Structures are given as structure tokens and as C-alpha cells.
Structure 1
Amino acid sequence: MNKQLSKKQRFNYFLINLISFASIFLVLGLIVFQLVQTSIYQTVDHDLQRLAGDQKFLEHQLIQTERSQGNSLQVGKFDTPPPNNFQQQVILWSKDGDILNEAELGSRFYDFQNLKLSTDNLRKISNIQTKDSNDRSLQFRSITLSIKNQNQVAYIQLLVNTDPIKGTVERFKQILIVCMIIFGLLSIALSYFLSKWFMKPILISWKKQQEFVENASHELRTPLTIIQAKLEKLFTKPNHTILEESETIALSLDEVQRLSQLTSDLLLLARSDSNSLTLEKEPVKVNSFLNTLLLPYQDLATAEEKEFVIDLGEEQQIIFDKKRIHQLLIILLDNALKYTAPGEKITVFSSIKNGEWQIKISDTGIGIAEEKKKAVFERFYRGEESRNRKTGGYGIGLAIAKWIVDEHQGKIELTDTDPKGTTVALRFPVK
């Protein structure tokens, strides 16, 4: 991936993250502000609804007004008015829109002298705004009620001053805006970090893909070059018989076989990356399966003057993909034979216990350095710098082995054999 494309992709990730975070913070801020504002005004509205439904309170206001106008009535228990709440006010209106309880309002009457009666939304709470004698704006929550059977009073209006609430809401809004700005700056930093973090696996994947293509090209080119050279050599000697050129033909066929195997392995890895391969699991008798696989290797080891020991537990039947496990063990046995010298020992152990099928393939060969044990499962990795095909192979066998183990939900581990060599331990869950 070139730098320009990488920067463009990273900028796109940054922009997407920034927009996402900004949208979340904005929506969250609006929701919080709306909830706080609503909850604050709910208390005021509740008080207004309570007063509007309190008949005794309303009657007292009417009686007080009538007394102040000289219409003396027997008030009884309302002789002593309830304490006045400075934030709550009551205005009594005539049909013509005149304020009738000017005496009860006292100095606050001048705050309402510019107020006009509105009968459009009776018994509904609304916001009203007026100006006091000093031309300052005043905010109220108000509810207006229609009064019947009264000589002068036609409407009664209950008001609650909301200036302190408005101030609180404004301060909360300012704090919320400051917090959103701070979190917005944090979201920019976080978006930058996430864009870099999101690009990391993409770049790693791209790098692995490049390495895969380069290594695959190298591995494919070498046998093709050898085959081409050998065939061109045959054209220089048209009179030679097949017997005379049998060595050249045999070498070409050997390279063709190597090329065919490499192509199959590359195709397997490519299909495993795309998750297009599925396991074909079936019940298999473990010991019969292993004996069929191991006995030819035991004969081969004997021919190479190597000791080959088979240690199998009791015969049991478990379910796995016979073809893939066969391929897995072939890869491990080939490596064990390849890196074991004549006179040395290879041991294959198998047992089923504690709900696991355990397989160990141990050899007393050259072993693997500790720092290379994890790297050997990477594609095209070869511990030998010489990249000798007779010993190093193509470097994709153990990558395929790791994939087969993972597909069976198993584990593979490399340890040292005492006194030297390598032990490959496999563990598969028995279901």
C-alpha cells in the first residue's frame, strides 16, 4: 500500500470517527439539556396544577379581592391569609382585561401593568414574558382559569416567576457547551489515535500479502527456471536417446512434482484465508488411522538407519477431518525425518485422556532455537539461511499445520526434547 493511499485511508477513518463522536456528543448533550430543562420546569408546572385545582386557595383569592373592594363577606377560616410566596403571584382579571387585585399585588402591580389578558389557552400552562417598571424582562409560567358566578372577576391567572430557573438553565447550558467543546477536542485526539490503530492491521495484512506474493513468486520461479533450463538443454542434443537424458528428465519431473505440491499448498492457504474451506469430519478409529499412516514412515526411518518408536494408547473412536489430520501428521513426520540424522530417534505418542486427544512427535535432531519457535508457523519462514530445499522446504508446511490445528479448535506447541531435538505437542478436544 503506497503512502498516498495509506494517508487517504487513514484520513477517511479519522473523518468517520470524528463525525461519529461529534454526533454522539451532540445528541447526548441535547438529550441531557432537554431532560434537565424539562425536569426543572416540571416542578413549577406541578405547583401551578396543584394551585389551579385547590378550590379553597382560589376562593380565598376571590374573597380577599372582594374585601379590598369594600364588599364585606363572612370569611370564616380565611380571615388569616396564607403566607405570600414571592415567586408565586395571582392576578384577577375582569371581562375587559383589567386587573382587579391591584391592592393585593402591591408594588408588584407595576411588574404586570404591561401584561395583557389572553384567553386562548385556558387551563393550559404557558410561558409569558413581560417587563417591570425598570424595563427588565421577566419570565413566568402561567395558567389562566375562567371564573363563573362572580360579579366582577372573570378570570384568575396564576403565575410563577421562572427567572431563577432560567438563570440556572443558562448556566447549565454554558457548562454543557464547555464540556462538549472539551470532549470535542478529546474526540479529535481519539479519532486520530483510532484511525492510526485501525490502519495498523490493514498495513500488517498488506505487508503480509506483499511478502506472500514475493515469496510465492520466488518459490514458483525457481522450479520453472530449472525446468526451462533442462528442456532447453534437451533441444541442444536432438540425437540423444531418452536413456541418455534420463537424468535431465528425472530432474525436470522432480521439479514438476515440487511445483505441483507448492501450487497445491498455496491454493490451500489462499482458500483458508477466504474461509472457503470446510472440514469434513467423520468418526475415525484413532489407532487404526495412525498405524496406517505411521508404518510406512517406520519403514522409511529404518531404511535411513533411524529409530522410529510408535506408542499408542487404547483404541477409541473420535470425530475429525481424516484428510486434514493426515496432512497435518505428514507435515510433522516429514520435518522430523528431515532434521534427524542416522542413529537418532523419533517417537510418536498418542493417547486420549481428560477429554483431549494428545499427540506428541519427538525427535533427537538439530532442534529449534527458542526465539524461532513462534516464527516457524509463519508462511515462507525457514530457519536455515541457506534456504536449501532438501532440508528447509518451502516454509509453508507448518503454516498449513497451524491452520489445520486451529480449524479443529486444537493447540500446537513446540518444546525441546531432552537432551536435544524438538517435540511437537498436539491437543484436540474430544467432543
Structure 2
Amino acid sequence: MFRQTHIRLTFINSIVFIVLISILGSIIYFYTDNKLYEDVNQSLLKSVDHYQNTDGPEDSQGGKLGEGDQAPKFMGRDPRILTLIWDENGNLLAGENRGTMIFQGNEKLIRPKKYGTLEDVQVEDFSFRYVAFKTELPQVGKITVQVIRNVNSEKELLDRLLLIILIGCGVGIICAVASGYFLAGRALVPIKKSWQKQQQFVSDASHELRTPLAVIQAKTDLLFRAPQATIQEKILDVSTISKESRRLSKLVTNLLTLARSDSDQLEMKKSTFQLDELLKEILQQYEEIAMYQEKTLRLEAPEPVAFLADKERFHQLIVILLDNAIKYTKEGGDILLSCTQSHSSISLKVEDTGIGIPEKDIPKIFDRFYQSDKARTEAEGTGLGLSIAKWIIDKHHGKIKVHSIVGQGTKIEITFPKSQK
């Protein structure tokens, strides 16, 4: 699947690069062409204007055509421009001017076919651009004046430029394909990682769902085998079914939350509330559990803290953090929940004197279904709680730091900006 996508992305990227290179090459070529021939065109048109605004074209000696000199080739104001004169029958009025020797014998090629427009013509190995117009002289009659200039140097320069552009485009196409392949590979890296994570997520979720379902099914089969037994006789089996059902319900709820968070279907409904009061309410719910397990649970919130956030999700975040702290703290341990604020931020800390987290495991604790070494603790979990907590923190633009020492405890510090835009 990824190979076909890689090839498709390579093709698309290559096409984009090739189109851009072609457009750039075309712009350079046509811009150069326009600039090179701009002076040629202006010279030709100025010469035409000069001839039309005088009594007639002058010969090389300064005399007028028809004043005793029948030489048909005349120089314009630009020394690179030649003037050819054609009679009514289309015959070139030829002379001995060296600049026009090439035209003798090539009259059919050089004879103007259009008038008033710039035209190009090829004579032997020479390229010319000309403009022609008709006029009438008293002593000569109707003639055609053709102002012409050699453009070999311009054409050679353009041909050389075109060759360079074509070679450059060829090299560019090779580079475009290579670059397209490389960029397609880089673009697929996060997609592959997401795919692998999704596959792992589905696999882990299936495993976690299968376990309580298997227990419930096994215990239910045992109950069916003894239909005459009382609830008191089968209280352990019933209790196990109830426990696994609650665990399954919690797991499904967490999976649904994460699935909706991935697709951005869950929106944060932010409103202003007193964070310190919320912490007190949650702490009261956990005090009895902590006392029963012979653990100390304390709250430090020295001042009222107003916070703009999703209160329901924030409640879920605190519950997840406290639940983990209590779960991994042994009897006689201490758990501290504190909340402070500064001018621009709010800091929330959860500290415990539990078993701690190995340093190598700290970057992974927010991964889905990740659980540290189960041999170190008897606590059960699915490894989804901290993933949900991280999602809630990110949605509130918070930053989280985890400090832990194995055997001494863990401190989780979260900083939220007061301005939740």
C-alpha cells in the first residue's frame, strides 16, 4: 500500500517540479528574446520613420535615389541596417555594395511578402529581420522600400541559451524525480508511524477488551453449570463478573474518548471556574479511599484561582493524576496536590512518595496502553489514563514535566497559560 502511495507521490512531486522548471526556463528564454530583439525592432522602425519623413532614401554618397545614381542599396541611420529597393515588377535594384552581395541570386527569398510588419527571413546561413513599405518617387515611380538587418548574433545567442535551458531542464527533470522520491519518502514517514501506532492501538485494544470478556464469559459459564446454587454460594463469581464489567465499561469509555479526540470530534467547552474549589471537591472524594489505604492526601491551594477551561475535562484530568498517584503509592505514603498562579500562568502539581518511574520509561508513560514493569506493582490498569490526560493538557495549551526517582516518588508539574485563546 505504502509503495504505491510512494510512487504516486513521487510522480506528483516530479510533475510539479518539472512544470516549475519549464515555466522558469520559458520565462528566461522569452524575456531574453524580447530584450535582444527590442533594439533590433526599434532600429528598424526608426529607420522606416526616418525614410518616410525625408524626400526619399539616400544612397551611400548622400544623393537622392533617381538623381543620376541608380544604386539600389542604401544605408539607414543605423550602420547595421541595409535598405533594399524593389521596383513594381519585384526586381531588386542591385548595385555593387558589399553588404548586399548575398541578396543577388536570392531575390525570391528576400523579396518582401508582407508590408508594415516585422518579418524574419533566412538567406543561406544568415538570418534577417525586415520591415517593408510601399512608396512612390517622381523620377522612379512606385517602389517597395525594405529595411533589413542581420540578426545572426541575436539568433546564435538565443540558440545557445535554448540549448543551455534544454540541458538544464533535462538535469532538472532527473533532480526533480530524485527530489520527488525523497520528499515522498519523507512525507510518508509520519503516515507510516501513525499507521503503525493505529495498528498497535487496535491490537492492544483488542487484547485489553478480550481479557475482561473472557473472564466474564468463563464465570458466566460456571454459574450456568450450577443453576440451583444461591447468590451467596457464588458471590465470588458474581463479584468477579461485576468487577470485570466495570473495568470493561471504563476501558470502552476511554477508547471512545481517544478515538474521538483523534478525529477532533470532541470540543473543549471552556468557561471560567474556581480551580481551587474544584480541587477541594475532588480531594474530598478521595480522602476516604486514602484513609482506608493508610495514605496521606493533602491539598495546597493558598489563594483562589480563577481559570478558563473545560471544567468537566479538567475534573477528569485531576482524577486521572490522583488515581495514578494513589495506585502507585504504598501504605504510609504521602500524596500532595498543589495549585499556584503567577501573573501569566497557573501551575498544578501532583507529588507522591510511591514506587517511582525508571528514567528510561518517563518519555513513554503518555503512550497508549504503555505500562511500566508490572512486576514492580500489583496495581491494575489499561495504560490509557495518562494518554487522555496528555490530550486534555494539550487542548489547554499546557506543558507537562515529570520528575521521578525509583523508590522515592514522582512529581508531575503542569503549567497552563491563563489566556486560553
Task: State the TM-score, normalizing by the size of structure 1.
Answer: 0.88
Structure 1 residue corresponding to 2:388, chosen from 400, 403, 420: 400
Aligned AA for 1:424?
I
Q: In structure 2, what is the equivalent of residue 183 of structure 1? A: 172
- Structure 1's consecutive aligned runs of 4 or more residues displaced over 6 angstroms after TM superposition are 81-84
- 1:427 is matched with 415
- Partner Cα distance (2:396, 2:407) in 1: 31
Q: What corresponds to 2:72 in structure 1?
A: none
Query: Which amino acid is 1:357 matched to?
Result: I
110, 121, 127: which is aligned to 2:114?
A: 121
> What CA distance in whole angstroms lies between the structure 2 residues aligned with 1:44 and 1:15?
43
| Counterpart secondary structure, 1:373 | helix
Corresponding position of 1:195: 184
Alpha-carbon distance, 1:372 to partner: 1.3
Please give the per-residue CA displacement for 1:67-92, whole angstroms capped at 9, x wherever unaligned. 4877269xxxxxxx88872x321112
Q: Against the structure 1 CA distance between its residues 360 and 150, is the aligned structure 2 distance closer, same or farther, given a 3 Å change threshold?
A: farther
Distance 1:150 1:119, change over 3 A: farther
Correspondent of 2:102 among 97, 101, 110 = 110
Contact 1:65 1:101 in 2 (8 A): no
Aligned twin of 1:133: none
3-state SS of the aligned residue for 1:62? coil
**Structure 1 residues 92 and 333, CA gap change in structure 2 (3 angstroms):** same
CA contact (8 A) 1:301 1:337 kept: yes
Q: What's the offset of the Cα at 1:297?
A: 2.0
Say whether 1:302 aligns with 2:298.
no
Output aligned runs, 1:61-210, within 5 Å.
Answer: 61-62=57-58, 67=63, 71=67, 85=79, 87-100=80-93, 102-103=95-96, 105-106=97-98, 108-116=100-108, 121-130=114-123, 136-152=124-140, 154-210=143-199
Judged with a 3 Å threshold, the aligned counterparts in structure 2 of structure 1 residues 150 and 314 are, in CA distance, closer, same or farther, namely farther
Partner of 2:210: 221
Q: CA deviation at 1:417?
A: 6.6
How far apart, CA to CA, are the structure 1 residues paired with 2:4 and 2:154? 49
What TM-score do the two structures reach when normalised by structure 2? Answer: 0.90
The answer to whether the 8 A contact 2:345-2:416 is kept is yes
Equivalence for 1:31: 27
Which one-letter code corresponds to 2:107 in the other structure? Answer: L
CA distance 1:206–1:65, change in 2 (3 Å): same
Gaps of 5+ in 2: 70-74
Q: Which moved more, 1:198-207 or 1:324-333?
A: 198-207
- Matched residue SS, 2:379: helix
- Tell me, yes or no, if the aligned pair for 2:57 and 2:64 is still in contact at 8 Å: no
1:9 aligned residue: 5
Write out aligned runs for 1:318-397 (5 A): 318-386=307-375, 391-397=379-385
Deviations 1:300-347 (A, max 9, x none): 223322222211132132211011011111111001011111222111
- SS of the residue 2:229 aligns to: coil
Q: 1:59 to 1:313 in 2, by over 3 A?
A: farther
Deviates more, 1:298-307 or 1:351-360: 298-307
Partner SS state of residue 57, structure 2: helix
For 1:110 and 1:32, the matched residues in 2 are separated by: 34
Deviation at 1:295, TM superposition (A): 2.1
Superposed displacement of residue 174, structure 1: 1.0
Find 1:51's aligned residue among 28, 47, 52.
47
- How far apart are residue 149 of structure 1 and its match? 4.4
Q: Which amino acid aligns with 1:142?
A: Y
1:150 and 1:272, CA in 2 relative to 1: closer, same or farther beyond 3 A?
Answer: farther
8 A contact 1:51–1:57 mirrored in 2: no
Distance 1:70 1:342, change over 3 A: closer
2:266 corresponds to which letter in structure 1? L
Deviation at 1:56, TM superposition (A): 8.7
Contact 1:320 1:408 in 2 (8 A): yes
Q: Distance in 2 between matches of 1:261 and 1:218?
A: 15
Separation of aligned partners in 2, 1:280 and 1:414: 27
Identity %: 31
- Structure 2 letter corresponding to 1:371: K
SS in structure 1 at match of 2:280: helix
Counterpart CA distance in 2 for 1:210 and 1:234 is 36
Matches within 5 A, 1:404-419: 404-416=392-404
Are residue 255 (structure 1) and residue 255 (structure 2) matched? no
Provide the residue aligned with 1:19 in structure 2. 15
Whole-Å separation in 2 of the counterparts to 1:349 and 1:106: 103
Which 10-residue stretch deviates more, 218-227 or 183-192?
A: 183-192
* CA deviation string 1:15-64 (max 9, x = no partner): 22222222222233223222222221122112212222235996573365
Question: 1:120 Cα shift?
Answer: 5.4
Query: Structure 1 404/372 Cα, relative in aligned 2: closer, same or farther at 3 Å?
Result: same
The alpha-carbon distance between structure 1 residues 418 and 228, as it changes in their structure 2 partners (threshold 3 A), is: closer
SS at match of 1:37: helix
Structure 2 CA distance for partners of 1:140 and 1:13, relative to 1, 3 Å:
same
8 A Cα contact 2:270 2:309, kept in partner: yes
Q: CA RMSD in A?
A: 2.6
